[in-house]
């Protein structure tokens, strides 16, 4: 592709590395394009953030296609990952330490598989306090890190598929297909509650956004290598 392709608009499918923020990926890709073509400015944005501890599909739009970002954000998403039973964390994932431990010896595979049914369809979900959502002009994680309590309203989401793919206690592997605005960390936390236990998200990978698949995505380093050919 030449510069005009990027300026007129491209959809780039990037496989986000672990521990990178979505913003870091956007910055890196923007920098690579600017370096490659010796330009000072180009628009690059992502269509839906991924947490640093998640990997997988990140849709980036360049140039005039940044106007299409909201269209891609609204599409159905698919994730795979691991929920670890027996312990909760304030962030609902491994970003924070386990704060409460539960006994998991009585939980059966049938109960685990059956609990997924409580989350199919249109449900109310409370986003995690450790999130970038804003309330009264501040991001929720700012309240969390300051130790301040804040009331978080629930939101309506839709989960069309929630499948348990493997169980090796305390780890439960899953696949979920859901609407925009779904927090998989909250799903993991609520899943623990549904089992009268505790749980947190220990691994997450976004595999699809609409018709786009991570199988067609490239890593950041691969994208950089393409410019060298």
CATH of the domain at 46: 3.30.2350.10
What pLDDT is recorded for position 65? 96
Q: Please confirm, yes or no, whether 216 is among the known catalytic residues.
A: no
Whether residues 94 and 16 fall in one domain: no
Catalytic residue among 51, 103, 136, 211: 51
- Nearest CA to 172 among 115, 117, 215, 94? 115
Instruction: With a cut of 90, say whether residue 100 has pLDDT above it.
Output: yes
Domain count across the chain: 2
Tell me the mean pLDDT in the region 15-25: 96
* Same domain membership, residue 81 and residue 59: no
pTM score: 0.93
Closest residue by Cα to residue 49 from 221, 206, 174, 207: 206
pLDDT of residue 81 exceeding 80, the answer is: yes
- pLDDT digits over 124-183, tens only? 999 887 777 777 777 777 776 777 777 788 999 999 999 999 999 999 999 999 999 999
Are residues 144 and 37 part of one domain? no
193 and 85 fall within a common domain = yes
In our burial notation (b when 16+ CB lie closer than 10 A, e otherwise), range 64-80 reads ebbeebeebbebbbbbb
Please check whether residues 59 and 121 belong to one and the same domain. Answer: no
Instruction: Give the domain extent around 163.
Output: 77-209
Instruction: Please say whether the beta carbons of 205 and 55 come within 8 A.
Output: yes
Tens-digit pLDDT profile for residues 175-211: 999 999 999 999 999 999 999 999 999 999 999 999 9
Kindly state whether residues 101 and 145 are assigned to the same domain: yes
Using CA atoms, how far apart are residues 185 and 37, in angstroms rounded to an integer?
A: 40
Give the pLDDT confidence score for residue 229 in this predicted structure. 66
């Amino acid at each position: 592709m030449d510069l005009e392709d990027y300026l007129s608009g491209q959809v780039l499918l990037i496989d986000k590395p672990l521990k990178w923020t979505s913003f870091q990926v956007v910055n890196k890709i923007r920098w690579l394009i600017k370096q490659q073509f010796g330009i000072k400015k180009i628009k690059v944005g992502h269509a839906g953030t991924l947490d640093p501890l998640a990997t997988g599909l990140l849709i980036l739009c360049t140039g005039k296609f940044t106007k299409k970002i909201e269209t891609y954000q609204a599409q159905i998403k698919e994730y795979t990952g691991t929920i670890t039973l027996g312990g909760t964390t304030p962030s609902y994932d491994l970003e924070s330490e386990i704060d409460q431990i539960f006994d998991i010896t009585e939980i059966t595979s049938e109960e685990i598989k059956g609990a997924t049914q409580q989350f199919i369809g249109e449900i109310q979900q409370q986003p995690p306090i450790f999130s970038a959502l804003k309330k009264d002009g501040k991001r929720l994680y700012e309240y969390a890190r300051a130790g301040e309590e804040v009331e978080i309203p629930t939101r309506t989401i839709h989960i069309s598929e929630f499948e348990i793919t493997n169980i090796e206690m305390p780890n439960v592997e899953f696949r979920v297909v859901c609407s925009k605005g779904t927090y998989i960390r909250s799903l993991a936390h609520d899943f623990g509650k549904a089992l009268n236990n505790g749980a947190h998200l220990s691994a997450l990978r976004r595999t699809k956004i609409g018709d786009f698949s991570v199988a067609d995505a490239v890593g950041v380093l691969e994208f950089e290598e393409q410019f060298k050919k």
